[in-house]
Amino acid sequence: MDNTIEIMNEGISCLIKELGVVKTEQFISVMMREKFDYTKWQRRLFSDMDVNDLNAAAAEHDRNNRIHTVS
């Protein structure tokens, strides 16, 4: 299992890849400044979806965003 530093580095790398450096810094700044509850956010984000819709969206996301690993 990854240790905390490895997870943080991987997360920052993903943010930079998707948002760029400036927006990543803005995102981190907002997350540190705001009282943020990830669980409540997720519940609001997906509150209008039933289990089947959520499953279909997750499956489509997986098909479109496969991570290729080297063994």
pLDDT (tens digit per residue) in 40-58 = 888 888 888 889 998 998 8
Compute the half-sphere exposure of residue 8: CA atoms within 13 Å on the CB side of its CA: 4
Is residue 69 pLDDT above 80, yes or no? no
pLDDT tens track for 2-52: 699 999 999 999 999 999 999 999 999 988 887 878 888 888 888 888 899
pLDDT at position 16: 94
Average pLDDT over all residues of the chain: 86
Only one residue has tokens 């991987």, namely: 10
